[in-house]
Amino acid sequence: MKKAFTFTEILVSLVLIVIVSAASWTAVSVLTPTSEATRYRIKAENLLTKSQEEVRRVAQSLFDELNNCKFDEANTCGFTDIAAEFPEYTRTLTVSSEGSPDFKRVHIAVSWLEEGENKVLDSVVLLAKPAEPSPANIIGLVQGEDALGVPLPNVKIDLAGANGGNSSTTSSATLLPRTDGKQINYTFADPDGRKVLSPGTWILTVTDVDGYYDLDPPITLTLETKEERDQPIILKPKPENGHIIVTLTRPGADLFNNQSEIGLYQKGERKDFKVGQSGVPGGLRTFDFVVKFEDTEPQCFTVATVRSYLSAMAGDPSCSGFDFDAEGWSSAQNGVDCSKPRQGSASDDTICVSPGEEVAVPIPLVYIPITTIKGIVADHNGPIPNAEIWLWWHAPPGQEWPWDHHPGDPSRYHGTSDAEGKYEVVVPAEQDMFPSTEDFYLRMEVQAEVQVNHCCGETILKKFMTGQFRVGPLHKEQPFLRDVSLDTNVPEPDCGNANGRVVNDKTSGHVPGASVRVVVDGTANEGGNYRFQCDNASQGFRVPAGPTFISAQHPDYYPFPTGAEPNWFYPSGIPVSITGQVQNDMPPIALWPKGFGSIKGRVYAGSVPISWVQEVIVQFGTGEPSVAAYTDTNGFYEIQNVPATWPPPDPKVIGNPKYNQGQREHWLHVYESGAFEEYWSPSSFRVIDGQETNGDIYLVPRGAS
């Protein structure tokens, strides 16, 4: 049972309280007025307490960035400037991780100068990472000021954290379903409707919307935990687009091919251009240049064709100084005023269009002038039938004359000699459009296949060609005669035989059935041996003499390259020389067998396994086609027979100059989906023959920062 206090005990206690209180009051009375050092100390303690509170406040939103925060003039963490309130003091902040990224060790030091001596007061605070606040969301209706209440789809909406760092993007739709009846066409929630935005201040911007001005000013929103803010977005419309409709007036022809173009110029600067497409059914001959407006003032342009001769069209009359204008036509010159630049200028931009207006611009072009080149193709034995005659414009190099644009000759892009070696080809009369010098002559080449003697008493077709040469001058309706002589003389063949073996370099065994090439093709027998010789020894020898290369292929081995060209596995083929009239022993061809492993893993959404089917693709660094697999309902997937990466970790390969040492590794890839961002494995990885490789994948939700 609890004992009650006696009256005497109560009196003693009251006396002790009075004595202690008096002593405390006396101590304060004595220290406060007499000690300047105590004043400095108390003020330093106040600043230290204030600094601790500030660090705790900042850590609520910037915990992960706290290590970079400083108490200096350049601080970016929002600390208070103490210069006015605490002018005599300096404070420093040192932050480090304490065993885990979720814990911080915070050292705060306050220093001052007292009677010529530096004084320091410091403290250490341990902070734990604050719990993530429940996310928020922004929804709303994007609409135009010219059609209020009508959803404006396909508008990109950007969010950025007011203090930097976080960002998110979404796009508007037509309308999004809502159980509460709200009309919205955008949301920042994930595809499952979950909020994903961090509470705090966000800046919302909308830019580059066709037909509308940017959102000005941007909208600033401060979101609370779990809040869903309904934020309408109303965009101001720009003036309606104008259109300049350009039509080629040459009848019955396709428009420009992809080597020529129509340009839209303003004050001499190209603003837009269109290129044609050869062979469009019905003849594509009309282009629509869309003119966008920032205000209601008309805009003026010049229209000009460029390199129209490459589409078999030209200008007539001409401002080029020739009978026909190879560039085509310009609205600034119109074939009449040749003093004006083709691309126009501020004063020459005469095609003007206002908002909402369509302006038609016909372009009068004619067929380029044509002529013919004809002659006979022959060699020392006489005329050569079926020789091919190829012609190109003088420039740009490699451009073939687009014969399919010429009426009546839809397929004559080159000519062929007849049984008597005669040929005749319709060609552009270049010198009616370009200077009469070799730099502007057509380029011509003749090719023909002729029977020549070969090894084992056989004859083969061998291609001979002249190489390119220039022909001209070429003028309209003035045929140009050009006989061509091909040098088809070849020496009688000197041939030898060749034999060798294909081996498995990993096991030192043989490789039966490998395809082998030593100038001619053959196959290794069951023992891995091959032999190139005539069916009958009386026929002579099989392989042309001279320097060459050996190559080999087998579906179970990495292919050994042909000629001097390397591949991903071997530096190059084996250089050899075939001696005529003898049996030549070839060095062994060592092939490395292909390896295969497997990849097994699980796909996670953040840190949670996915619960639906997701396609996982392996991109091979060895050049083979990619393969794909699908996860099961628990997120697991497995891919068997995955080609091993190169090089294999075998001492016979590593460091061996017979093999390329470059790393050919693999990547995991998951395509972007409605729920997740596109994923690539953070780094390439290796697959070893006969081994299983872990391929866990961590997907990031769409729109997550």
Please write the tens of the pLDDT for every residue from 482-521.
Answer: 999 999 999 999 999 999 999 999 999 999 999 999 999 9
Residue range 351-375: average pLDDT? 94
According to the model, what pLDDT value does residue 7 have?
39
More confident residue, 60 or 170: 170
Report the phi/psi class of residue 208: left, alpha or beta, with left for phi > 0 and alpha for psi in -120 to 50: left
pLDDT band of residue 33 (cuts 50, 70, 90) is: very low
Structure-block tokens of residue 177: 């379903």
Residue range 257-280: average pLDDT? 82
SS (H, E, C) 620-645: CCCCCCCEEEECCCCCEEEEEEEECC
| Mean pLDDT score of the chain | 85
Residue range 620-648: average pLDDT? 87
CA separation (Å) from 397 to 393, 400, 401, 472? 8, 9, 11, 17
According to the model, what pLDDT value does residue 277 have?
63
Residue with tokens 């080609």: 643
Tens-place pLDDT, residues 111-166: 988 888 888 888 988 888 887 778 999 999 999 999 999 999 999 999 998 877 78
Residue range 633-637: average pLDDT? 87
More confident residue, 616 or 655: 655
- pTM value? 0.57
pLDDT band of residue 39 (cuts 50, 70, 90) is: confident
According to the model, what pLDDT value does residue 13 have?
36
Rg of the chain over all Cα atoms, to the nearest angstrom: 42
According to the model, what pLDDT value does residue 284 have?
59
pLDDT band of residue 4 (cuts 50, 70, 90) is: very low
Residue 324: pLDDT over 80: yes
Tens-place pLDDT, residues 188-232: 998 778 888 989 999 999 999 989 999 999 999 999 999 999 999
Percent of the chain with pLDDT over 70: 88
Please state, as a whole number, how many other Cβ atoms lie within 10 Å of the Cβ of residue 246.
Answer: 23
Peptide bond into 217 cis (omega under 30): yes
Please state, as a whole number, how many other Cβ atoms lie within 10 Å of the Cβ of residue 81.
Answer: 10
Residue range 42-56: average pLDDT? 88
According to the model, what pLDDT value does residue 73 have?
67
